[in-house]
C-alpha cells in the first residue's frame, strides 16, 4: 500500500486518515470531498488513476487543512509520530506541508521505527525541510522542478526564495546543478527533475532525459508537477525500481498533458483524465 | 547501529539542522524589538530575542529569531502595529538576499512571470489570472483557489492572504505582472 501525506487548502478541514477515491472532480476520504485543483489532491488523483490501471489498492492518505499558517501541518506531524509505527507502507510520499526542520526530523525518526522501511519520496514543502535538515540522502526520490533543483544545489539557501543568483536555474545547467546537489549531500538517491525537459538522475549523473511530447503550456499549469509525483509514487508502490518508475512517470505525465491539448489556462483535472490512456500506451511501448 | 549510537546520531543531526529554517528580524531601534517581541509572542510564534550575528552590520543591538518560512504572515502582523524590520535574513546565512530575478514566458495570448519558485500566468486581453504554479508551502494551493479566475485588479494580493516565503515570492510575481 502507498501512503500519501499532505494538506488541503481549507482551514476548516480536519485531520483525516484513510483510503481515498476519485469521484468525478473530487477526492473522497472518510466521506469528505476535496476538489482536485493542485497540490496534494492533484497528487492523489494521479496516484489513484495510476493505481487503478495497475490493479492496485487505493492510496492511504493523511490529510489536514492548512492554508500556510502551519497549524494543520504541525498537528499532522504530531499525529504521524504517534501512528506511523503501526502502519505498513511499501511507499510513502510527503508533499505540501509547512517546512519545519524540527518536525521533519521527528517524523523521519518515526519512519525509522517502522518495521519495514518504505520507499521514501519527498516533494514540495517537505522536500524543502528535508534539504534544510541535511538529511536528503535518507530519501529515495525527490521530485523538484528546475527552480527547486537550483535550491537543492545551493548549499546555503534555506528556501528557493533565497537561491543565489549565480546558481539560479537555466535549463541547460541541469547536469551541473544535479552534480552540485549531490556534492553537498542535498539530493535524494534519485532525482526526478520536472521541466521543459525532465531528467532522471542519481549520484552518477543524468540517467534519462525525457523531452517528448513537448507542451510548453504545461509549465504554467498548476498541479502538473503534483500529478507527476502521484504517478511515480503509484508505479514505485507497484514494485517498479525507482529510476525506471521515474522515467515512465515522466513519459506518462507528458503524454497525458499532450492528450489534454493544453493551454496555459487549462486546469490540471483535465489532464488527470488522460493518465490511464497515456499509462497504457507507455507501458505497451515497453 | 547500537541504540546509544543512534541516539547520539539523532541528537547531532537535530542540533546541526535546527537553525536552518530560522530567520532574523533586524530593527533600527531596541524599542521596536521590544514591541515586536511582545506582539509576536502574543500571537503564538516561536521566537526569541538575541544578539545579532557578526555578519549583520546594521540595526540595533538586538534581533528577533523567527520561523523564516512564515515571513509574510509575520511581516503583516508587524505592519498592523506600525512596525517594520529593516531586514529579514536567514540565520544560517545572514548575507543571503531574496531572489530578485524575474523570468517571463510569452505564450501569445498569455503571459507567465516567474519569481523564485512561483509562477503566475495571466490572459493578456482580460488581465484574468488563469494559473498559479510552482511552490511547495501549503498556502500556494490556497492562494491559487482565491486568485485564479479573477482579474489582476480584483484578486486579493498574496501579501494580504498569503503566509509563507512561497506566498512572498508569488507577491513579487504579482507586483511585476501589475507593473507590466
ipTM of predicted assembly, 2 dp: 0.93
The CATH number of whichever domain residue B53 belongs to comes to 3.30.70
How far apart CA B141 and CA A131 sit, in angstroms, is 22
Contact criterion met (CB below 8 Å) for B162 and B144: no
**DSSP-assigned states of every residue in A111-143:** HHTSSSPPEEEE-HHHHHHHHHHT-GGG-SEE-
Q: Does B73 touch chain A (CB under 8 A)?
A: yes
Nearest CA in chain A to B97: A162
Do both B80 and B30 map to the same domain?
Answer: yes
| Count of CA atoms in the C-beta half-sphere (13 A) of B43 | 19
pLDDT of residue B99: 79
Q: Hey, is A78 helix, strand or coil?
A: helix
- Which structural domain, as residue segments, surrounds residue A35? 2-285
pLDDT of residue B17: 56
pTM of the complete model: 0.91
Residues 6 or more apart whose CB falls under 8 angstroms from that of A27 comprise: A20, A21, A33, A34, A36, A41, A44, A45, A48, A61
Residues forming beta bridges with residue B123, ordered by sequence position: B110, B128
Please, what is the average pLDDT of chain B? 87
- Which structural domain, as residue segments, surrounds residue B19? 3-90
B68 domain residue, yes or no: yes
Q: Hey, is A31 helix, strand or coil?
A: coil
B132 domain residue, yes or no: yes
Cβ–Cβ gap B117/A151 under 8 Å: yes
B96 domain residue, yes or no: no
Nearest CA in chain B to A38: B141
pLDDT of residue B10: 53
pLDDT of residue A261: 97
Tell me the shortest Cα–Cα distance from B36 to chain A, in angstroms. Answer: 19
DSSP state of A89: -
Do both B7 and B80 map to the same domain?
Answer: yes
> Which uninterrupted H or E stretch holds A192?
strand A190-193
Tell me the shortest Cα–Cα distance from B60 to chain A, in angstroms. Answer: 24
Cβ–Cβ gap B144/A157 under 8 Å: no
Find where cell 504554467 sits. A220
* Model pLDDT for residues B123-178, shown as the tens digit of each residue: 999 999 999 999 999 999 999 999 999 999 999 999 999 999 999 999 999 999 99
B95 domain residue, yes or no: no
Contact criterion met (CB below 8 Å) for A187 and A152: yes
Do both B132 and B81 map to the same domain?
Answer: no
**Number of folded domains that form chain A:** 1
The last residue of one of the domains, among B60, B90, B120, is B90
B97 domain residue, yes or no: no
Do both B80 and B109 map to the same domain?
Answer: no
Nearest CA in chain A to B119: A220
The CATH number of whichever domain residue A13 belongs to comes to 3.40.1190.20
Q: Does B97 touch chain A (CB under 8 A)?
A: yes
pLDDT of residue A170: 55
Q: Does B81 touch chain A (CB under 8 A)?
A: no
pLDDT of residue A166: 74
Do both B79 and B25 map to the same domain?
Answer: yes
Per-residue pLDDT of chain A (286 residues; tens, 9 = 90+): 999 999 999 999 999 999 999 998 999 999 999 999 889 999 999 999 999 999 999 999 999 999 999 999 999 999 999 999 889 999 999 999 999 999 999 999 999 999 999 999 999 999 999 999 999 999 999 999 988 999 999 999 999 988 887 777 555 689 999 999 999 999 999 999 999 999 999 999 999 999 999 999 999 999 999 999 999 999 999 999 999 999 999 999 999 999 999 999 999 999 999 999 999 999 998 7
Tell me the shortest Cα–Cα distance from B171 to chain A, in angstroms. Answer: 12
Do both B20 and B76 map to the same domain?
Answer: yes
All three cell numbers of B92: 544560517
Place B97 in a pLDDT band, splitting at 50, 70 and 90: confident
Residues forming beta bridges with residue A16, ordered by sequence position: A63
How far apart CA A49 and CA A58 sit, in angstroms, is 9
The CATH number of whichever domain residue B120 belongs to comes to 3.30.390
pLDDT of residue A176: 92
Residues of A in contact with B151 (CB under 8 A): none
Q: Give all strands of the β-sheet with B48-50 in edge-to-edge order.
A: B48-50, B63-67, B22-26, B87-90
Cβ–Cβ gap A145/B134 under 8 Å: yes
Cβ–Cβ gap A159/B132 under 8 Å: no
Is the link from the previous residue into A213 a cis peptide, with omega within 30 of 0? Answer: yes
The last residue of one of the domains, among B48, B68, B90, is B90
Do both B106 and B80 map to the same domain?
Answer: no
Q: How far from each other are the two terminal CA atoms of chain B, in whole angstroms?
A: 58
**Number of folded domains that form chain B:** 2
CA dihedral angle for residue B23, residue A148, residue A189, residue A212, rounded to 10 degrees: 170
Cβ–Cβ gap A96/B141 under 8 Å: yes
How far apart CA B113 and CA B177 sit, in angstroms, is 7
All three cell numbers of B153: 485588479
Place B120 in a pLDDT band, splitting at 50, 70 and 90: very high
Residues of B in contact with A133 (CB under 8 A): 13, 17, 20
How far apart CA B35 and CA B172 sit, in angstroms, is 28
Sign of CA dihedral A13, A4, A214, A255: negative
Mean pLDDT score, B97-101: 78
How far apart CA A144 and CA A185 sit, in angstroms, is 15
Judged against a pLDDT cut of 50, whether residue B1 lies above it is answered with: no
Amino acid at each position: 500500500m502507498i501512503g500519501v501525506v499532505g494538506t488541503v487548502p481549507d482551514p476548516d478541514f480536519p485531520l483525516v486518515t484513510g483510503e481515498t477515491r476519485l469521484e468525478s472532480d473530487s477526492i473522497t476520504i472518510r466521506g469528505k470531498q476535496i476538489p482536485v485543483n493542485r497540490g496534494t489532491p492533484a497528487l492523489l488523483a494521479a496516484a489513484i488513476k495510476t493505481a487503478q490501471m495497475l490493479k492496485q489498492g487505493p492510496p492511504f492518505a493523511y490529510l489536514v487543512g492548512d492554508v500556510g499558517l502551519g497549524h494543520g501541518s504541525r498537528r499532522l506531524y504530531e499525529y504521524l509520530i504517534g501512528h506511523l509505527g503501526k502502519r505498513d507502507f511499501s511507499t510513502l510520499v510527503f508533499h505540501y506541508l509547512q517546512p519545519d526542520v524540527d518536525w521533519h526530523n521527528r517524523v523521519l525518526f518515526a519512519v525509522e521505527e517502522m518495521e519495514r522501511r518504505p520507499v521514501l519520496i519527498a516533494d514540495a514543502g517537505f522536500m524543502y525541510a528535508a534539504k534544510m535538515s541535511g538529511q536528503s540522502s535518507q530519501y529515495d526520490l525527490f521530485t523538484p522542478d528546475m527552480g527547486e533543483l537550483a535550491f537543492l544545489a545551493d548549499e546555503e539557501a534555506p528556501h528557493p526564495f533565497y537561491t543565489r543568483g549565480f546558481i539560479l536555474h537555466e535549463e541547460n545547467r541541469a547536469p551541473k546543478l544535479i552534480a552540485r546537489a549531490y556534492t553537498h549531500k542535498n539530493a535524494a538517491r534519485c532525482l526526478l527533475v520536472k521541466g521543459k525537459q525532465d531528467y532522471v538522475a542519481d549520484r552518477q549523473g543524468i540517467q534519462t532525459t525525457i523531452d517528448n511530447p513537448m507542451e510548453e503550456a504545461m509549465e504554467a499549469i498548476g498541479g502538473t508537477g503534483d500529478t507527476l509525483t502521484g504517478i511515480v509514487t503509484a508505479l514505485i508502490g507497484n514494485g517498479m525500481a525507482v529510476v525506471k518508475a521515474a522515467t515512465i512517470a515522466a513519459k506518462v505525465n507528458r503524454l497525458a498533458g499532450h492528450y489534454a491539448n493544453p493551454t496555459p489556462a487549462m486546469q490540471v483535472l483535465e489532464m488527470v483524465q488522460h493518465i490511464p490512456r497515456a499509462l497504457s500506451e507507455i507501458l505497451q511501448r515497453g | 547501529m547500537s541504540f546509544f549510537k543512534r541516539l547520539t546520531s539523532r541528537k547531532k543531526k537535530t542540533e546541526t539542522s535546527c537553525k536552518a529554517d530560522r530567520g532574523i528580524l533586524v530593527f533600527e531601534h531596541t524599542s521596536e524589538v521590544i514591541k515586536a517581541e511582545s506582539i509576536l509572542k502574543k500571537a503564538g510564534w516561536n521566537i526569541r530575542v538575541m544578539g545579532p550575528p557578526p555578519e549583520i552590520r546594521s540595526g540595533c543591538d538586538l534581533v528577533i529569531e523567527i520561523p523564516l518560512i512564515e515571513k509574510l504572515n509575520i511581516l503583516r502582523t508587524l505592519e498592523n502595529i506600525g512596525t517594520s524590520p529593516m531586514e529579514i535574513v536567514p540565520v544560517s546565512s545572514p548575507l543571503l538576499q531574496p531572489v530578485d530575478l524575474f523570468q517571463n514566458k510569452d505564450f501569445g495570448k498569455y503571459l507567465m512571470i516567474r519569481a523564485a519558485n512561483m509562477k503566475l500566468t495571466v490572459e493578456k486581453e482580460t488581465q484574468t489570472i488563469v494559473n498559479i504554479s510552482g511552490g511547495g508551502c501549503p498556502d500556494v494551493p490556497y492562494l491559487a483557489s482565491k486568485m485564479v479566475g479573477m482579474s489582476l485588479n480584483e484578486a486579493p494580493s498574496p501579501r494580504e492572504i498569503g503566509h509563507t516565503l512561497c506566498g512572498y515570492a508569488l507577491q513579487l510575481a504579482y507586483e511585476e505582472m501589475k507593473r507590466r
